[in-house]
Amino acid sequence: MIDSHVITVGNNDRLALEEGWYGLEKSPEGLVYRASSREALLRIPFALQRVQVSLLLAARPEHTHEPLKGLVSTSAGTDFLFELTTNHWTVRQGFLETGEDRLIRILVYNPWSPGQLYANGDERLLGILLSAVHVHWEE
């Protein structure tokens, strides 16, 4: 039997999104999201062995003038790479073995800073914009 759990930013993300996430924002398309820092942690709600993780995300590669590149990994040593070439909302997914800590680490290799781009004093390093996470598993 295949089962799943959805984490929706702004709805049920408080216990799932750990270190590395900024406050709620809303996209022009009406999606609620949180921007990540260079490295962010996501805790899945169940102790599972193997999961498929689907991330609904966007980026701002036009600010870095190159595709945004990242790695999604677990303490169990599994990972998948992703690349975003536009600022459109898209899904990136992969299979992961989860460790006992149930943490998923998202690392962005080339974050950008609003302060460097706009000289507005905002020195955050921003990575992905996350709107939802869908975790699938087989029982």
pLDDT per residue over 38-92, tens digit each? 999 999 887 778 999 999 999 988 877 889 999 999 999 999 999 999 889 999 9
Once rounded to an integer, what is the mean pLDDT over residues 25-45?
94
Domains of the chain, CATH where assigned: 2-138 (2.60.120.260)
Residue 122 near residue 95 (C-beta atoms within 8 A): no
Whole-model pTM: value is 0.92
Once rounded to an integer, what is the mean pLDDT over residues 12-38?
95
Q: Where are the beta strands (DSSP E) in 37-75?
A: 39-43, 50-58, 68-74
Banded model confidence at residue 139, pLDDT cuts 50, 70, 90: low
pLDDT per residue over 120-137, tens digit each? 988 889 999 999 999 998
